[in-house]
Amino acid sequence: MKKILLFCYTVAALQGFSSCSSNQPKEDYSWLKNAIDTSVQQLEETVADVGDSVLLPRAIWTGYDMDFLCNQLQRDPSTFKDSLRVKPIKASIGSRRYCGSIYDWTSGFFPGNLWYAYQLTGKENLKASAAKFTNYLYPVRKYTGTHDIGFMMNCSYGNANRLAPADSIQSILVQTADNLCDRFNPNIGCIRSWDFGKWNFPVIIDNMMNLDLLFYVNHLTNNPKYKDIALKHAETTLKNHFREDYSSYHVVSYKNDGNVELKCTHQGKNDDSSWARGQAWGVYGYTSCYRESKDTLFLQQAKNIANMIMKCVKTDDAIPLWDYDAPDMPETPRDASAASITASALIELSTLIEDGQVYLDYAEKLLKSLSSDAYLAKVGTNQGFILMHSVGSLPNGSEIDTPINYADYYYLEALIRYMQVKGLDYKSL
């Protein structure tokens, strides 16, 4: 009799627990489904619009006003030279801007966007389009003129190999990684970023993002040289790029003996300011370095940069101004690209440490802001781009308050990482 009563009590308790559990409100992911559906429709319409032309969408053409630039940079108009800026033709303002060639540093992002959209939804038409636009970049495997071959080929062929692997793709990635390694100077301990400008050996904080190509090829080949070069570059950059508050210079140029020649900016407000996208590149890059090395030096740097970003943001929706030191006024542009990169980085960072919830929560806030009507474009608008309100290079009058393909890329990547952390798939939304 006691056994029967015990059984009845157990059943009743389980039924009560089940009833309580079923009454728990289910988390609302309608914002996430809308974000994915909108992104896919925008990409599909862009593919149809481009057709068979060998064109890679980059942004929307924007112009600039000199008074506005001087106000944002807080410089005297009488001493501010406009000779380096090329204004777009008036007729092109508001139209879609394409990469100037397949060697444009942003050329890999649109194919990457299609690969990510395919990963999110499993739609075969997106896979076919991704392969088509990726193949346009085949000649880039021989290109040696910039560190950005990491962006160009890892975002396109790297995602292709993850989602549709082939031996031919692997050989392309290895060849590109070898070209990137050839830009490494062991005396300096860094990969050279640019081959233009006034600098002797320029290294920009953006270069931290191109290390992922080397990490990926290290896994493909089991050849330690790729990882070794990447981590050495990260160590040197950590030593010389960062200030006491963990904000980063944009450009550090080195002398041939490895000593620092100059610390400055090319895209930030001024040499000592904290250019928003640069800080995002940093936290993303050092998160990747910790993932690959398990060196706590890199982990601490990633956390330090993340904390600096969260402390410095001045906006209610957490989407940063284009530079953290830009004038805090309504007309100052925000940078959705910096927010997207940061969100993706912080989601990954949250998975690598025990106390990562604070970073996941902040990334979720960024994603919900980016997925709101304030930043997520309506289907059929925005020249087919997903996000609005990014800034490319304000001091150079380029891509100010406009959609940009890499903002879309890291936004989609962040959505994927968020869904993985939450255990979600598209069909369940």
- For residue 423, count CB atoms less than 10 angstroms from its CB and return exposed for 0-12, middle for 13-18, buried for 19 or more: exposed
Is residue 198 within 8 A of residue 84, CB to CB? The reply is: no
Mark residue 56 as left, alpha or beta (left: phi above 0; alpha: psi -120 to 50; beta: remaining).
beta
Beta bridge partners of 96: 60
Catalytic annotation, pick one of 206, 323, 401, 408: 206
Q: Which residues make Cβ contacts (< 8 Å) with residue 57, sequence separation at least 6?
A: 46, 50, 96, 97, 98, 99, 110, 383, 384, 385, 405
Beta bridge partners of 95: none
67 catalytic per annotation: no
Catalytic annotation, pick one of 49, 148, 325, 401: 148
317 catalytic per annotation: no
Strands (E), 331-425: 390-393, 398-402
Cα 10 to its chain centre, rounded Å, is 52
CA dist 142 → 136, 139, 178, 416 (Å)? 13, 6, 10, 31
If we measure between CA atoms, which residue out of 211, 272, 266, 210 comes closest to residue 247? 272
Q: Which residue's structure tokens are 């020649």?
A: 261
> Exposure pattern of 17-42 as b/e (b: 16+ CB <10 Å)?
eeeeeeeeeeeebeebeebbebbbbb
Q: Which residues are catalytic?
A: 148, 206
